[in-house]
């Protein structure tokens, strides 16, 4: 299904159409691009209406969404604590689900063993254990989350103030005001040649820009090329107009000024 052109999340207007067209739908996955928080109550209503599991890939959203409403949620929520996320803890993450699924999920993250006393695996699995090292980093960053968010709000809003007068680029709604990300997504109002911009930023400015997910959207990859799909007009529109800039909470004013200057210089034509 396609994305919403404004927030880059799953376009919910296509869900009803998909259920009418395809009878056997196993689940719906919603993705939070760059930490954009999707309302949990809304996802619970979608789950109740269509009666299929809802998987919420909230990769970089743990620091952004309201944890109070998760307790009564019936959906599956996954978050990442990768070093590129706003709440980093090495290579770890978290799965939030109803307690009745704990045995199955523990098996998946423990090589498929649902019973530690058994010598046989009951399902596919991998090594997803949460180490003491990961936990120590997570707890240290959780203790400092207020300062982390404060720095991010300050730096992101400084960038937005320097770029918001540029009519050739735009940001997702409320980015920098109510939610945060360690990735600065540039959405251009014109088609861009990423390879040319990449070489220019790398060779002239020594800045490694990158495509948000990969060089092409999922449906263009060979493995997914034969999957059923609805119209992906918005996806096709966005993929030709986006790239990301690296971002750090430790950027100084001169670093931010340089980013603003270079973006405006290259996107004012």
Q: What is the pLDDT at residue 269?
A: 57
Closest by alpha carbon to 30, among 7, 52, 58?
58
- Res. 66: pLDDT tops 80: no
Residues 46 and 130 in one domain: yes
Q: What is the pLDDT at residue 129?
A: 79
Q: For 95-122, how does the pLDDT look when each residue is reduced to its tens digit (9 = 90+)?
A: 999 989 988 888 888 888 887 777 788 7
Q: Has residue 5 been placed in a domain?
A: no
Q: Has residue 6 been placed in a domain?
A: no
Q: Has residue 2 been placed in a domain?
A: no
Domain stop point among 143, 162, 192: 143
Q: For 124-181, how does the pLDDT look when each residue is reduced to its tens digit (9 = 90+)?
A: 888 887 889 999 999 999 999 999 999 999 999 999 999 988 988 888 888 888 898 8
Q: Has residue 1 been placed in a domain?
A: no
Residues 64 and 54 in one domain: yes
Q: List, in order, residues 6 or more apart from 194 with CB less than 8 Å away.
A: 211, 215, 243
pLDDT (mean) for 181-190 = 88
- Residue 183 has φ and ψ, to the nearest 5°, of -120, 130
Residues 186 and 137 in one domain: no
Q: What is the pLDDT at residue 173?
A: 85
Residues 257 and 211 in one domain: yes
CATH classification at residue 90: 3.40.640.10
Count the neighbouring beta carbons within 10 Å of the beta carbon of residue 114: 17
Residues 227 and 151 in one domain: yes
Residues 154 and 188 in one domain: yes
- Structural domain including 80 reads 12-143
Q: Has residue 3 been placed in a domain?
A: no
8 A C-beta contact, residue 123 and residue 112: yes
Higher pLDDT among residues 45 and 71, named by residue:
45
Q: What is the pLDDT at residue 43?
A: 92
Q: Has residue 7 been placed in a domain?
A: no
Q: Has residue 131 been placed in a domain?
A: yes
Q: For 217-264, how does the pLDDT look when each residue is reduced to its tens digit (9 = 90+)?
A: 888 889 988 888 888 999 999 999 999 987 888 899 999 999 999 999
Residues 161 and 135 in one domain: no
Domain stop point among 93, 120, 143: 143
CATH classification at residue 205: 3.90.1150.10
pLDDT (mean) for 87-95 = 89
Q: List, in order, residues 6 or more apart from 47 with CB less than 8 Å away.
A: 53, 54, 74, 75
- Residue 57 has φ and ψ, to the nearest 5°, of -80, 90
Closest by alpha carbon to 3, among 257, 152, 219, 264?
219
Q: Has residue 181 been placed in a domain?
A: yes
Residues 133 and 36 in one domain: yes
Domains: count for the chain: 2
Domain stop point among 128, 143, 158: 143
- What Cα–Cα distance (Å) separates residue 67 from each residue in 64, 73, 86, 135, 208? 9, 10, 16, 19, 34
Query: How much of the chain exceeds pLDDT 90, in percent?
Result: 43
Residues 139 and 151 in one domain: no
Q: For 1-54, how does the pLDDT look when each residue is reduced to its tens digit (9 = 90+)?
A: 999 988 899 998 889 889 888 878 999 999 998 889 998 889 999 999 999 999
Residues 127 and 222 in one domain: no
Residues 139 and 17 in one domain: yes
Residues 157 and 139 in one domain: no
């Amino acid at each position: 299904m396609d994305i919403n052109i404004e927030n880059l999340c799953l376009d919910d207007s296509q869900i009803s159409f998909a259920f009418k067209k395809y009878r056997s739908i196993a689940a719906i996955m919603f993705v939070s691009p760059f930490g954009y928080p999707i309302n949990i109550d809304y996802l619970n209503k979608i789950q109740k209406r269509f009666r299929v599991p809802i998987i919420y890939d909230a990769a970089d959203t743990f620091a952004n969404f309201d944890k109070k409403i998760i307790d009564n949620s019936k959906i599956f929520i996954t978050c990442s604590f990768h070093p590129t996320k706003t709440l980093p803890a090495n290579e770890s993450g978290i799965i939030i689900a109803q307690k009745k699924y704990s045995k199955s999920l523990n098996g998946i993250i423990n090589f498929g063993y649902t019973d530690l006393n058994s010598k046989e695996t009951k399902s596919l699995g991998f090594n997803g254990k949460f180490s003491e090292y990961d936990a120590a980093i997570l707890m240290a960053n959780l203790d400092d989350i207020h300062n982390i968010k404060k720095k991010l709000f300050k730096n992101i809003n400084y960038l937005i103030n320097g770029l918001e007068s540029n009519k050739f680029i735009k940001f997702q709604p409320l980015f920098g005001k109510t939610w945060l990300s360690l990735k600065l997504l540039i959405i251009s109002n014109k088609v861009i040649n990423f390879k040319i911009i990449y070489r220019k930023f790398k060779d002239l400015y020594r800045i490694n820009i990158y495509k948000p997910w990969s060089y092409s959207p999922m449906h263009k990859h060979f493995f997914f090329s034969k999957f059923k799909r609805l119209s992906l007009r918005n996806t096709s529109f966005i993929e030709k107009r986006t790239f990301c800039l690296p971002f750090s909470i430790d950027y100084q004013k001169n670093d931010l000024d340089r980013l603003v200057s270079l973006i405006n210089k290259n996107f004012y034509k």
